[in-house]
Amino acid sequence: MNQLQFSGHESFQCRNLWLKKGYDYITSDRFSGFNKDEAVLELGVGKNMVASIRFWMEAFQVKNEKEDTVSDLGEVIFQENGYDPFLEDIGSLWLLHYLLVTNPGRRASLYSIVFNHFRKHRIEFKKEQLLNFLNRYIQQQDESHSENTVETDVGVFIKMYYQPTSKETGRKSIEDAYSSLLMELNILESIEVVEGDRPEIYYVIKNDVRDNLPDEIFLYAILDGIERGVFGYSISFHQLLNGENSPGAVFALQADALVNKIERITNKYNGLVYKEDGGVKELQVSRELKKENILEQYYVS
């Protein structure tokens, strides 16, 4: 099994246009590799940002890990007439969030750990509490990672999702503060709690309704889980809500919201049956349903 990874992003969260920039570079006649000096000129960013773009392309499963080629999904999204090359659709951001959390190569491991494990212990947390959990988790995996590296990764994670207030932005440039790719999902919020005589910032990833999560992206996640062996073709409600890389865990869904989304997709698509048998609620999925077709219907229909 691949080791956990908490580095590679060069301390940069993924910016809005980086995946498109990376796609255009790889697929151009001028591509000579990410380690070449030419990459700095072609991508129009510093050397460290070039490495970060490559990392995030792999973390979001837009680029194949072991070679400088675009994945099939990256191709259909980012090509000139692709589904959403400039990521203007909120469904694309939810899809990328899902791909980041479920990355099979353990790229950007923190994201999987947070949504699959940490949130089962607490949904409100200080940075120190998340860092302590990660260090314990690393020990349980019998691995060793620099605490400074993990702490930097926590900071990148927060910048990826959190939309700061104008007060929090301070002297940072507007571009730096509001250019994070997944900020629009509003997954990560903050609250100020007075502890003793001083305020403390807690971050919150609450279970929510996720009204802006499209039915097709939700169904894509289920079909992808079946394809990867996470689920069978009969999936219990408990698995869909709490299982590792389940839509309930990855999208931080309320139980009632999960029921509603299951009912919506069963009404919309043939080949899905949701029923209760002997007190066990389960979703039955036809083998004829393919995730690529569902994605095409979302973007093309």
- Alpha carbon distance 249, 253 (integer Å): 7
Q: Are strands 272-277 and 280-285 parallel, antiparallel or unpaired?
A: antiparallel
CB 242 within 8 A of CB 281: no
In the chain, what are the domain boundaries? 107-206, 215-300
State mean pLDDT over 144-154. 97
Distances (CA, A) of 232 to 26, 81, 120, 149, 229: 36, 34, 23, 37, 7
Q: Would the pLDDT of 171 be above 60?
A: no
Question: Coil, strand, or helix at residue 25?
Answer: helix
**34-38, 186-190, 214-218, 249-253: lowest mean pLDDT where?**
34-38
State mean pLDDT over 263-273. 97
pLDDT band at 194 (very low <50, low <70, confident <90, very high): confident
Q: What's the pLDDT score for residue 173?
A: 55
Does the predicted TM-score (pTM) go above 0.75?
Answer: yes
**CATH code of the domain occupying 215-300:** 1.10.10
State mean pLDDT over 147-176. 81
Residues 6+ apart with CB under 8 A from 163: 178, 183, 186
- Alpha carbon distance 61, 73 (integer Å): 8
CB 138 within 8 A of CB 4: yes
Q: Would the pLDDT of 245 be above 80?
A: yes
Q: Which residues of 72-108 are buried (b: 16+ CB within 10 A; e: fewer)?
A: ebbebbbeeeebbbebebebbbbbbbbbbbbbeeebb
pLDDT band at 109 (very low <50, low <70, confident <90, very high): very high
Q: Would the pLDDT of 64 be above 80?
A: yes
**34-43, 70-79, 188-197, 208-217: lowest mean pLDDT where?**
188-197
Q: Would the pLDDT of 39 be above 60?
A: yes
pLDDT band at 301 (very low <50, low <70, confident <90, very high): confident
- Alpha carbon distance 100, 195 (integer Å): 34
Strand partners, 203: 125, 190
State mean pLDDT over 44-69. 95
- The mean predicted confidence, pLDDT, of the chain is 94
Q: Would the pLDDT of 179 be above 60?
A: yes
Tokens representing 249 are 């865990």
Distances (CA, A) of 70 to 58, 101, 112: 9, 19, 22
CB 184 within 8 A of CB 42: no
